[in-house]
Structure 1
């Protein structure tokens, strides 16, 4: 049942969960994601609860001294986008270091994860808070924590007003009826992150069903099970979700989709349904990365970038591992301004991916370890002692032919050595995917396709 987020419950511990979501439909691209965090009581005191620390800034003016007007929060938004996108690459590179994921498809929403961590920082104190802020790349010399939360709120407000695509981003907080959260934390998480709030009994199976139903509804059925079970001593469960569905500005003709081969590696191939189009499209050749880049737009609002290493270069052929080691936020920024329309043939495989990750070790590897131990300090959330027992992330991606049409413009581009790598772009080798916001460059989704037929 919904609760007033200015009040809360009573006492216990464990589990916070956040979930990411994403999933595209027939050339509809749908993305769904959910991230889950579970909070439990401390092993030492059994009275440890998540806490939240928030900082108030005060300005004091002496005598007749004048204060300069502060710039609007929107002026600092590009700095938040850079912070989020840098975090996206740090998270990705830590993810691919994990043995279980090195040769697998990757797909996740870094925006959903960074938003969840920022929410957690609202209730964190001491070293836990420092680790959270450092882990997401916060720099106090650029903007204050209050400004950071206000900018996340501004992003969510702006996303809510988008037309032409179906996008939904938000969070939810499930609180045990045994835990009492501080009113200040509840007010802030509601104010800045539009969080829904619910009082629940984690000892009954119906609570898991309620959470899964909520996520299924928010992700339009793309993620139908956010959590399998929760410990009975769970005190709180936090999740963030994101759903995106967009039609291509220029759709693919289904009659031209054909059976083809995808080269997983030098020895392995798998059959795929390959979509084909010859049209004036946004493309770019990245000489630094020796990679071909394709940009496909959704209703002048969001874009998907696909990047594949050029295996036909005169130089040493690059692999997906070379690309993912070298790529950074700055390359995505360059692509946004460098892609030009030209007549080109493209081959893009139809995709349907599902991914699931435990974030505990990944976030520890990024310096955010204390929140998973008895050292966790979440005194800004509750007077009781709690820590995060589990952090999970799930995402889905579906791509196929359907979409809308748009006018095309032809331009010319030039590359050295009379070699023209952009006569065609064939994504039949492992490639990377980015879903970005055209207005501000925020990376909503991030991944790589190693094997389109992989079922995770």
Structure 2
């Protein structure tokens, strides 16, 4: 069920029953990372793209000057009923109801996007998942397809001619105008920061202070991609530190090690960065008392790790080479877990059109049955760092990496022979009994699982599997391969 459908359903619920039967969790707008003791679903991703001269989220004080600052949507906070109790312990219903209506209206405003705004992305998502998750060998792999989409969209704004057209072709657009409309709608539909669910998208540009840039392009990026632009001394320790601090701030510190490796050369004309930070709680949490050690069969041998267990009614899905289950996040989408059949590798699934179609179906699938699912899955914390250049070239984006043919005139006409020389993508997803936490950044410097015969099925993720974390609107925020659950 998508979030807008769920919100519509709330229209018909007597709010008094919420107080009586479903006490919401305490409001925690600033949660600690998992390794500091919080149990949650967490994910983060980021991209940094460095655009270099070819040789021959808040204000940054004293390190870079702001040329354009994005204004984020203001969202009404989730009304935690514990904040509305009278001195005698009863609920101040009128005040709670008014704030609840404001929160619901705020949610629906973000989700109120043009019909079909997310259509036409299947080709890009399929290519990205195969390119960046395949050939993993024995290691974990993780990426954020939506994060990479926004980085490429921003790159399209900075380029012209065939440099831009190659990006438009990959993202399924004929013109930059249709890409802008889709990107803005996607950004808003997938943005949430209300104290209950965190799904924060952020973008920034870092500009060489010795180069003049086209202000209208910066303004378009601020309006469409909510990107703030800063200008400073390229190659300086101060600007590098400012960029690292921005990445850490936007990804909840989940990618601190990867962010600490980001640096820009003095020859850098511009760097763009996009991030995704996600934190949510399961609609039905695992009982920690049921968590117990068990064996996970990695490609390199058996290891013992903590497995979470639950038994509940759920939809069970299958295809010729896989079975799958989805676990919903409260107001925030679904974690899809896809298990290859015995004798089938994850790479074979990625090459299987049916499996890829399922991954992008968001549960709209014929082969499914509602039954009791006895789920056993390992707690996992997986991270990865990718150099995107070779993968993007294989997907048809080549001109921006070649200074002889690249066109960056929409960004600046002050210099020539500019190309992308760095495109780094880092992601992390952590899952435990209460939920998921995830983050990502992208930086660019310039055997036939048939229908189960009974009404109960065991779904045990004790060998390498695929996962896909979708937003409330079904967009693939994070995807990965778990070969090693630790």
* TM-score bracket for this pair, using the shorter chain length: 0.7 to 0.9
Q: 1:109 to 1:157 in 2, by over 3 A?
A: same
Distance 2:340 2:347 in 1: 9
1:77 aligns to what SS in structure 2?
A: coil
Query: What is the Cα deviation at residue 153 of structure 1?
Result: 1.1
Q: 1:27 to 1:426 in 2, by over 3 A?
A: farther
Where do residues 28-427 of structure 1 align in structure 2 (5 Å cutoff)?
28-44=40-56, 74-79=114-119, 82-83=120-121, 85-96=122-133, 101-138=136-173, 140=174, 144-161=175-192, 163=194, 164-224=196-256, 225-226=258-259, 227-265=261-299, 268-280=301-313, 282-288=314-320, 290-311=321-342, 317-327=343-353, 329-334=356-361, 336-338=363-365, 341-374=370-403, 375-383=405-413, 384-385=415-416, 386-403=418-435, 419-420=453-454, 423-427=457-461
The TM-score, its normalising length taken from structure 2, stands at 0.72
Alignment size in residue pairs: 376
Q: 1:123 to 1:344 in 2, by over 3 A?
A: same
Distance 1:175 1:234 in 2: 8
Does the CA contact (< 8 Å) of 1:73 and 1:147 recur in 2? no
Q: Which moved more, 1:194-203 or 1:329-338?
A: 329-338
Does the CA contact (< 8 Å) of 1:108 and 1:395 recur in 2? yes
1:74 aligns to what SS in structure 2?
A: coil
Distance 2:324 2:41 in 1: 18
Q: Which moved more, 1:222-231 or 1:105-114?
A: 222-231
Query: What is the Cα deviation at residue 117 of structure 1?
Result: 0.5
Query: What is the Cα deviation at residue 389 of structure 1?
Result: 0.9
Segments of structure 2 that go 5 or more residues without pairing to the other structure are 1-31, 57-111, 437-448
Corresponding position of 1:55:
none
Measured against aligned partners, the alpha-carbon deviations of 1:102-136 in whole angstroms (never above 9, x if no partner) come to 33211110101011111111121122112111233
Distance 2:455 2:295 in 1: 20
Q: CA RMSD in A?
A: 2.5
Query: What is the Cα deviation at residue 216 of structure 1?
Result: 0.7
Query: What is the Cα deviation at residue 436 of structure 1?
Result: 0.9
Distance 2:289 2:234 in 1: 51
Measured against aligned partners, the alpha-carbon deviations of 1:20-62 in whole angstroms (never above 9, x if no partner) come to xxx9846521111110111111245xxxxxxxxxxxxxxxxxx
Query: What is the Cα deviation at residue 96 of structure 1?
Result: 4.5
Query: What is the Cα deviation at residue 329 of structure 1?
Result: 4.8
Q: 1:130 to 1:422 in 2, by over 3 A?
A: farther
Query: What is the Cα deviation at residue 73 of structure 1?
Result: 7.0
2:114 aligns to what SS in structure 1?
A: helix
Does the CA contact (< 8 Å) of 1:27 and 1:400 recur in 2? yes
Q: 1:319 to 1:198 in 2, by over 3 A?
A: same
